[in-house]
Structure 1
Amino acid sequence: MSSYKTRASWSALPMFFEEPHRALGAQVDRSVTDDDVALHDAPRVIPRLAELGLLKLLVPQSHGGGAWGHGGKGVDVRALSVTREALAYASPMADSIFAVQGLGSHPILLAGEAEKRAKVLAEVVNGQRVCAFALTEPEAGSDVASMRTVARREGDDWVLDGEKVFISNVGIADHYVIFANADPEKGKKGISAFLVETSTQGLVTEPIAMSVEHPLGRISLKGCKVPGSALLGEVGHGLRLALGTLDVFRTSVGAAAVGMARRALDEAIARTTTRVQFGKPLSDFQLTQAALAEMATELDAARLLVFRAAWEKDQPADEASRKNSATSVAMAKMFATEAAQRIIDRAVQLFGGLGVTDRCVVDRLYREIRPLRIYEGTTEIQKLIIGGALVAPVK
C-alpha cells in the first residue's frame, strides 16, 4: 500500500459538490481501506457495505435510503460517484458489486413500484439481498434491440426462455432483473423487465472465469415460470427501464476508473521515490517525472469530466439540458476509462518487472480496468453519442 495519497477529488472540486458530498467523501475514504478483508471476498462485500451504510445511497430517502438529492425522491449521482471512486481505489471488486446492487434495484424505482416492493428495497439497503442486472446476451451487447430472450403468457404467469451472458453477481445474487421480449412482433417495443428470484425453477447459472476475481456468469432460462407479479412496470417498458438505469449509473463508471487510476498513480509515486537505480531514486530521472506529470494531468482531467457530468445529472432537467447531460456523461465515461487505462499502463511500466507479477497492485489494476472500457456502453458507443450530438440539426 502506498504511503502517498493524492488529494481527494471531492475536496478539490468545490464547484460540483455540496457539504454533504464532501463529508461523504471523507467518510468513505476513511472507512474503505485496502486491508479490509471483507471487501476482497465476494460473498462478504454486500454485508460489509451495509455495515458502512453505503447501500443507502442506492435508494432514495423517500423509500428507505439515504438523505441525498432530489428532495429525497431520487438517487444522487454525485454521492454514487464519490463512493465508487473511493471503493475502486481500495477494491475494484467491491466497487463492481456495489454498482450492480444499484443496477439490479434501480429498475424498481423507475417502474414506479417502490411502495409495492418496499420489502425488496429494504433488504437491498440492509444488505440482506444481493441484486443483479441481466441484459446482455451472446448476440445482443451494445445492440440491445436484437435481444432474443422471450417471455410468453401462460395463464396468470410468464414463462421465460433465452440466455444471458457476462452477468455480474452471478453466484451471489438473490434476484435478477431479467429483460425479455414479451411481444416479439413489436420488436424492441415488446422488451419487458422481470424481477426473477434466483431459486426460480428453470433458471440455471454458470460461472464465467475472469482474469480478476469477480462474480460473473451466464444465465440459462428454459421454461422459467414466474408469477405475473414478476413483471416490472408494463409490457414494453423494459427498454426504458434498462436504458434509464444505465443512464443513472454510467457516470459513476467514470468515477470508478478515476479511483483505480488514482491508486495506480499513488503506487507509482511510492515506487519511484523509494527504488534506487544508477545511484539515485527513479523519481529523480526526468523521464520518470514526465511520466508522473502526464498521469496526474490525465487523472485530474478525467475527474473534472466525471464530476461535471455527475453534477449535471443531479440538476433539474428540461429536454435540452437532458441532451447536454447525455453528451457530458458519454465524454466522462469515455475519457475517464481510456485515461485510466493509460495511467495504469504507465504505472506498470514504472514498476518494471515487479509490475507484471500477480501479487502487485498495479498488475491487478491493469486487469481490473479493462472491462470498464466495455461495459455500460463501449468507448465506441460513447463516441457515437458525442459525435451524433455535435452534428445533430439545431431545432
Structure 2
Amino acid sequence: MDFSLPPELTAYLAELDSFIAREIKPLQSDDDNERFFDHRREWARTDFDNDGLPRHEWEALLREAKNRADRAGHLRYALPKRYGGRDGTNLGMAVIREHFASQGLGLHNDLQNEHSIVGNFPVVIMLDNYGTDAQKEQLIEASITGKARISFGLTEPNHGSDATHMETRAVRETRNGVAGWRIDGEKMWTTGMHVATHCATFVRTSGKDGDATGITCFLVPTQTPGVKIEEYMWTFNMPTDHPRVSFTNVFVPDDALFGPVDRGLALAQCFVHENRIRQAASSLGAAVYCIEESVRYARERKPFGKPLADNQAIQWPLVELATQAEMLRLLIRKTASEMDGLSRDAIEKTLSDKVSMCNYWANRLCCEAADQAMQVHGGMGYSRHKAFEHIYRHHRRYRITEGSEEIQKRKIAAFLFGFIGPRKVKAG
C-alpha cells in the first residue's frame, strides 16, 4: 500500500507556492493590505458602522487575488475542464487545502470568506447538475468571475439542521399572464446577500412538515419585490455577511425553478461530501499551523533560564495534538481518494460516515490546537498579534455549520449500528 502523494500533485503544490510568492504576497504587502491580516484584521475587514458588513476594500482585495489566480490557471482547478478547470480531484483539493491552511493567515487562503486562490465552487456544481441551459449560460461563468453571486437560503429562524420542517412556502400563481409561484417565509444565515444577485431559496411546495420530498428550490433574483434583508447577525468572528431575510408575496416565474419540483433537497446534498472533506482538510491545516508555531516558540522561549520546550507540561499536550493530526491526515486522504473512485450516490451509501468522521474531528482538533497555542504563547497567544484567536473564532463555526458535530455523529452512528449503509440489517 503506497501512501505517497502522486508526483503531479506534489509538483502542483510547488507551482502554487511559486505563484503565491510571485503574485499574491506582493499584493498582500501593497497599500498596507497587511492590515487585513495582522492585529488590525477584524477592524480593517469590518465596517462596524454599516451593519458589521465586510468593507468594500477587503472584498475588492479578495477579488483581485482570485482574478490573478484565474489568469494563472489556478482558481478553477477543481472544476470540470469544460468550465476552464483541471478536473481536480477530491484528494488534490484536500491536500491543497491543508497545505494552504498550514501556512497561516494570508491572502492566498482566508476561509473566513471561503476565499482561496484555488476556488471551491459548490454553486457551479449545483448549476451543472440541476440548472437549465439558460441558467447555466447566465450564471456559471459569472459565478466564477464574481459577476454573479448566488446565496443559499435553506436554514430558517426556527429550523436549523432539520430542513424538512421549513416553514417557507411557495404556491402556484399567475400574475399578469405569467405562470409562476408566490413565496412567503423567512431564511436565516443567508450568507453573501449583501452582494448576491440571486438567492437559491428552498421552500415547501407540497407534502407535510418532516417529509423529505415536497421541497423545491428557486433561483430568486435578490432585487425581486418582497425580498428584504431584515438584519445582519453579528458573529463571534466579524465581519458578518449572514442576514435574516424575509420573503413576502414574492413572485417568480416558472423559469426560476432550480432543479425538479418537490425534489429540491437533492440540490442541498449534491456537494455536501466534497465540501465537508475539504473543510476537514482546511481545519487540519490550521491545526498543524498552531502546533508547529507552538513548537517553534517553545524552543525559542527561555523562562527561568531554559527553553520552554524542556517542560513535559508543554511537550505532552502538543504531542497528543500532533499524533491526532497525523492520524487524521491519513483518514482524510484515504477518504478523499476513495471518493474520487465513486459516484455521489455511492459516496452517500458507503462512505458518508468516514466523511463525517473527518469533518467533525478536524474542526474540533483545530479549536483544541488553537486553544493550546494560546496557552503555550501565554499573553502574546491571547493577543491579536498572533493568529490563534482568529483561527479559533473562525473554525469554531464549523463545529456548527456544514453539519453540526451532532449531525455528523448521528450519521456515523447510523452507519455503525446498521441503520443505514453497508451494515444495514435487512428486514425479515
Asked whether the equivalents of residues 291 and 321 of structure 2 are also in contact (C-alpha less than 8 Å), the reply is yes
Q: Which residue of 2 aligns with 1:376?
A: 402
* Structure 2 CA distance for aligned equivalents of residues 44 and 263 of structure 1: 24
CA 1:84–1:198: 2 relative to 1, 3 Å: farther
CA drift at 1:48: 2.0
Q: Which residue of 2 aligns with 1:85?
A: 98
Q: Does 1:178 align with 2:204?
A: no
Pick the aligned partner of 2:11 from 12, 23, 29: 23
Question: What pairs with 1:293-308 in structure 2 (closer than 5 Å)?
Answer: 293-308=319-334
Q: Does 1:198 align with 2:222?
A: yes
Could you tell which deviates more after superposition, 253-262 or 111-120?
111-120
CA 1:218–1:318: 2 relative to 1, 3 Å: closer
CA drift at 1:257: 0.7
Secondary structure at 1:221 match in 2: strand
CA drift at 1:101: 6.2
CA drift at 1:261: 0.8
Q: Which residue of 2 aligns with 1:189?
A: 213
CA 1:222–1:22: 2 relative to 1, 3 Å: farther
CA drift at 1:145: 0.6
Asked whether the equivalents of residues 150 and 196 of structure 2 are also in contact (C-alpha less than 8 Å), the reply is yes
Q: Which amino acid counterpart does residue 246 of structure 1 have in structure 2?
A: V
CA drift at 1:378: 1.0
Asked whether the equivalents of residues 182 and 191 of structure 1 are also in contact (C-alpha less than 8 Å), the reply is yes
Q: Which residue of 2 aligns with 1:9?
A: none
Asked whether the equivalents of residues 347 and 362 of structure 1 are also in contact (C-alpha less than 8 Å), the reply is yes
Q: Which residue of 1 aligns with 2:185?
A: 162
* Structure 1 CA distance for aligned equivalents of residues 112 and 97 of structure 2: 6
CA 1:154–1:334: 2 relative to 1, 3 Å: same
Q: Which has the higher helix share?
A: 1
CA 1:394–1:317: 2 relative to 1, 3 Å: farther
Count, aligned residues: 376
CA 1:389–1:120: 2 relative to 1, 3 Å: same
Q: Which residue of 2 aligns with 1:3?
A: none
Secondary structure at 1:139 match in 2: coil
CA drift at 1:80: 3.2
Q: Does 1:59 align with 2:76?
A: no
* Structure 2 CA distance for aligned equivalents of residues 120 and 216 of structure 1: 22
Asked whether the equivalents of residues 188 and 239 of structure 1 are also in contact (C-alpha less than 8 Å), the reply is yes
Q: Which residue of 1 aligns with 2:235?
A: 210
Secondary structure at 2:275 match in 1: helix
CA 1:220–1:320: 2 relative to 1, 3 Å: closer
**CA deviations over 1:139-198 (Å, ceiling 9, x no partner):** 221111111111222222222221111232232333222211122448431111112233
* Structure 2, unpaired ranges of 5+: 38-57, 419-423
Could you tell which deviates more after superposition, 136-145 or 154-163?
154-163
Q: Does 1:49 align with 2:37?
A: no
Q: Does 1:283 align with 2:309?
A: yes
Question: What pairs with 1:1-395 in structure 2 (closer than 5 Å)?
Answer: 15=3, 17-32=5-20, 36=28, 37=33, 41-53=58-70, 54-57=74-77, 59-62=79-82, 64-69=83-88, 76-88=89-101, 89-91=104-106, 93-94=110-111, 96-98=113-115, 102-111=121-130, 113=132, 116-155=135-174, 156-185=179-208, 187-205=211-229, 206-214=231-239, 215-317=241-343, 322-392=348-418, 393-395=424-426
* Structure 1 CA distance for aligned equivalents of residues 114 and 125 of structure 2: 14
* Structure 1 CA distance for aligned equivalents of residues 120 and 169 of structure 2: 24
CA drift at 1:294: 1.8
Secondary structure at 1:242 match in 2: helix
* Structure 2 CA distance for aligned equivalents of residues 347 and 357 of structure 1: 12
* Structure 1 CA distance for aligned equivalents of residues 159 and 243 of structure 2: 16
Could you tell which deviates more after superposition, 179-188 or 225-234?
179-188
Secondary structure at 2:351 match in 1: helix
Q: Which amino acid counterpart does residue 22 of structure 1 have in structure 2?
A: T
Percent of matched pairs sharing the same residue: 28
**CA deviations over 1:78-123 (Å, ceiling 9, x no partner):** 3333343345443574464249962333321221546751331111
* Structure 2 CA distance for aligned equivalents of residues 110 and 31 of structure 1: 32
Asked whether the equivalents of residues 169 and 203 of structure 2 are also in contact (C-alpha less than 8 Å), the reply is yes
Asked whether the equivalents of residues 170 and 218 of structure 1 are also in contact (C-alpha less than 8 Å), the reply is no
Asked whether the equivalents of residues 173 and 198 of structure 1 are also in contact (C-alpha less than 8 Å), the reply is yes
* Structure 2 CA distance for aligned equivalents of residues 376 and 247 of structure 1: 10
Q: Which residue of 2 aligns with 1:8?
A: none
Q: Which amino acid counterpart does residue 202 of structure 1 have in structure 2?
A: G
CA drift at 1:24: 3.6
Q: Which amino acid counterpart does residue 80 of structure 2 have in structure 1?
A: P
Asked whether the equivalents of residues 43 and 172 of structure 1 are also in contact (C-alpha less than 8 Å), the reply is no
**CA deviations over 1:315-357 (Å, ceiling 9, x no partner):** 1349766523111101111211112121111111111122222
Secondary structure at 1:196 match in 2: strand
* Structure 2 CA distance for aligned equivalents of residues 28 and 283 of structure 1: 33
Q: Which residue of 2 aligns with 1:10?
A: none
Asked whether the equivalents of residues 150 and 180 of structure 1 are also in contact (C-alpha less than 8 Å), the reply is yes
